[in-house]
Amino acid sequence: MAEYKNFTVETDADSIALVTWNMPDRSMNVFTEEVMDEFDRIIDRVVADGAIKGAVITSGKDSFSGGADLNMLKSHLGRFHTEKARDPEKAAKMLFDGAGRMTWLWRKLETSGKPWVAAINGTCMGGAFELSLACHGRVVADGDKVKLALPEVKVGIFPGAGGTQRVPRLADTQAALEMLTTGKTLTPKRAKQMGLVHEVVEPGKLIDAAKAMIAAGLKPVQPWDEKGFKIPGGPVYSAAGAMLWPPAIAILRRETYGNYPAAAAILKCVYEGLLVPFDTALRIEQRYFTEIMQTTEAAMMIRSLFVSLQELNKGARRPQGVEPVKFSKIGVLGAGFMGAGIAYVTAKAGIPVVLLDRDMPSAEKGKAHSESLISDAVKKGRAKPEDKDALLSLITPTDDYALLQGCDLVIEAVFEDSEVKKAATEKAEAVLPEAGIFASNTSTIPITALAKNSKRPEQFIGIHFFSPVDRMMLVEIILGKKTGDKALATAMDYVRAIGKTPIVVNDTRGFYVNRCVLRYMSEAYRMLIEGVPAPMIENAARMAGMPVGPLALTDETAIDLAQKIMRQTKRDLGDKAVDPAQMALIDTMVDTHGRHGRKNAKGFYDYPAKPAKKKLWPGLKDLYPQKRPEEVDVEELKQRFLVTIALEAARVMEEGIVTDPREADVGSILAFGFAPFTGGTLSYIDGMGVERFVALAKSLRKKFGDQFKAPKLVIDMAEKGETFYQRFDPYRKAAEKKAA
């Protein structure tokens, strides 16, 4: 029986131990309780064996490690919340001790008296990078796929295993703060420039270089444990510190609007930690980490942006019992902006793609879009010249439907017109293999209606991309009434193959994302009509946590498109379906002033020639009598934006359009940036408490209108004391489905 399950330890002729981390049945090494227990024993073994001069820690996989296991994190938080209900003080102590497990294990390693070198062969994230920082030497393989990062702030926490103390003792303080507060990923070269690693070598020489450091007499003492150690960026109380800290605090406030407690805690940890001895600094970090782990923001962000995101990316909603699809050829109908973008991300994933349009010049123009994107990536050093050739060789532009023969999947992205889509569907299905799946990228027309054009509606599905396709990470997969499991599984396999996150949505007008986005924009139009100054509208939205103001977002999607949607809605649902005052506003913008948005450089903003920046159109203040700033409650504006979107998400759940709260939350963040610190639309409600949310919605309804009317589902949940993750528990559903 092997001594360790997750590691092997081999000592060479030079008395250097090679510790190889290679977890069985895992594609990537992660930290679990078992892994840390074993590593603890390995440290003891290296220390106790007088024949061992030092040790090298490396990975037996392509990557080094992704950090902590999400199940371990879920388990920790679950135990904490259970205990908190019984004994809050005991729960906090339990969390404090748990937070310190990795901290003091890494401290044990760096004070063990034997030199340790981290030989980083691939991606090294979170706690794994903190482990490497605790080693006395760090050697990294040179390669495009090797990424180093402490990304914890992106999920509502921060590097709590010594990261906030070791990074600013190795790197310049300003660079350290930028890395820690943004979760920025470093290349090996950049990490070496910052002083975080010692050597960058060819992959084949990694282990030899690491062993050579020990053989050359690497000191088993960290710089901060030596007498006379000086902080690279200078002491906190110095001229350099005086130039750094006040602006750093201001910049953080500007970037986060105080919405991210973990980011603020990082500044506190670094500031306070640099004033005291290292062990005390680690204790300060541990206390702040324990405090942050108890925040609503951390709980919601960990759930949505770490746990749920990974689960969805692994195919949590994929039908069981359907064989995975290996794509040999994909067809894209329509080489316009969306179709060209879909072709690009498909080819980038290494899948051959046929890009079809009505004539060859149009199809060639679509391929040129991919050439432009990949050329830009090469210019910025994100791709190599050979990558460009490989990608472009996979895209075949054509005007001949016969070339779709042999496609596993065809994605229609033609003009948003039912008749045009009908013709494209019929022509494609005439040559599509019997098992081929047909998907529409429609953003407005119900999939069930489009499926009527198909001879095989069970193989017809919606795959809704967002613009620009190459940058947006979410894809909505829309089920028609007759869509079968094979179509759903194929769509999910495709979305995962191109490295995007799929959410599954049942058929309805606007699906999920657009329904929420339209509510966001609509509330901004109401504010304009009320006389709220446009700058306050945009600033309040950003203060609420939205990445783009609603007026700027309308410009990006086009004001005349908003006009078309409103008019079509009136035709389909009647005049009462659209607020006449909002219709008048949009008509005035488009028909009276010719302001269509960014595309004609005139919208709610003016778009002067670069390098000048866009600015709000001064004429907005002449459309309606303006309120004075002191008459406007900014906090109320923020609430209006978040509540109106969250209410629409709740309605979508009530209607059964989205059935899994994970998809509602992750989808809202990835698609339109719904205040990430809340964890998403439904976590915003759960985090606040459903009863409190209903009361807030009621007060806003009384003051601003029926758009804030809470649906019966939410009122019922409030009365029963439920949350969305209790009422629509995705894990219970999955277990029941599996049992059945």
Q: 7 pairs with which residues across the strands? A: 21
54-64 pLDDT, tens digit per residue, is: 999 999 999 99
Q: What's the pLDDT at 427?
A: 94
625 prior amide bond cis, ω within 30:
no
Q: At residue 557, does pLDDT exceed 90? A: no
The Cα 489–Cα 303 span in angstroms is 25
Q: What's the pLDDT at 345?
A: 97
Q: What's the sign of the alpha-carbon dihedral 501, 357, 395, 455?
A: positive
Q: What's the pLDDT at 510?
A: 80
Q: Is 673 left (phi over 0), alpha (psi -120 to 50) or beta?
A: left
The fold adopted by the segment(s) 330-509 is Rossmann fold (3.40.50)
260-284 pLDDT, tens digit per residue, is: 999 999 999 999 999 999 999 999 9
**Alpha-carbon torsion angle 233, 236, 240, 244, nearest 10:** 90
Q: Which long-range contacts (CB under 8 A, 24 or more apart) does 689-692 make?
A: 690/714, 690/717, 690/718, 690/721, 690/722, 690/723, 690/724, 691/718, 691/721
- Tell me the two tokens of residue 660: 């899994």
- Tell me the two tokens of residue 563: 């006009």
Which candidate, 16, 50, 10, 60, places its Cα nearest to that of 209?
16
The DSSP bridge pattern shows strands 409-412 and 615-616 to be: unpaired
Q: At residue 444, does pLDDT exceed 80? A: no
Q: What's the pLDDT at 113?
A: 96
Q: At residue 122, does pLDDT exceed 90? A: yes
Q: What's the pLDDT at 370?
A: 96
Backbone angles phi, psi at 610, to 5 degrees: -65, 150
Whole-angstrom distance between the N-terminal and C-terminal Cα of the chain? 38
The DSSP bridge pattern shows strands 7-11 and 16-21 to be: antiparallel
Candidates 76, 136, 464, 596; catalytic one: 464
Angle between helices 690-704 and 681-688 (to 10 degrees): 110
The CATH code for residues 514-727 is 1.10.1040.50
Q: What's the pLDDT at 1?
A: 43
Q: Which residue has the tokens 């953080």?
A: 252
The CATH label, of 3.40.50.1000, 2.60.40.10, 3.30.1340.30, 3.90.226.10, for the domain at 7-294 is 3.90.226.10
Task: Read off the pLDDT band of 597 (50, 70, 90).
Answer: very high
Which candidate, 315, 496, 498, 487, places its Cα nearest to that of 410?
487
Which spans in 349-484 are helix H? Answer: 360-379, 385-393, 418-429, 447-451
The Cα 276–Cα 182 span in angstroms is 25
What does the angle CA 403 – CA 406 – CA 408 come to, to the nearest 5 degrees?
Answer: 115
**Average confidence (pLDDT) over 129-154:** 95
464 is an active site residue? yes
User: Percentage of the chain with pLDDT > 90?
Assistant: 86
**Average confidence (pLDDT) over 28-38:** 95
474-527 pLDDT, tens digit per residue, is: 999 999 999 999 999 999 999 999 999 999 999 988 889 999 999 999 999 999
Domain boundaries of the chain, sorted by first residue: 7-294, 330-509, 514-727
Residues 6 or more apart whose CB falls under 8 angstroms from that of 716 comprise 722
Of 44-48, 178-182, 326-330, 412-416, give the lowest mean pLDDT range: 412-416
Q: At residue 340, does pLDDT exceed 50? A: yes
Q: For the chain, give me the number of helices (H) and strands (E)?
A: 31, 18
**How far is CA 47 from each of CA 19, 116, 126, 343, rounded to the nearest angstrom?**
14, 11, 26, 56
- Tell me the two tokens of residue 688: 């606040």
The Cα 567–Cα 564 span in angstroms is 5
Of 85-94, 161-170, 226-235, give the lowest mean pLDDT range: 85-94
64-116 pLDDT, tens digit per residue, is: 999 988 777 777 778 888 888 888 888 888 888 988 999 999 999 999 999 99
Task: Read off the pLDDT band of 640 (50, 70, 90).
Answer: very high
Half-sphere exposure of 660 (CA within 13 A, CB side): 23
**Average confidence (pLDDT) over 204-214:** 97
Residues 6 or more apart whose CB falls under 8 angstroms from that of 373 comprise 344, 470
Which candidate, 644, 632, 740, 626, places its Cα nearest to that of 701?
644
Indicate the burial class of 308 (C-beta count within 10 angstroms; 0-12, 13-18, 19 or more): buried
7-294 and 330-509 in the same fold: no
286-310 pLDDT, tens digit per residue, is: 999 999 999 999 999 999 999 899 9
Q: Do 59 and 7 contact (CB within 8 A), yes or no?
A: no
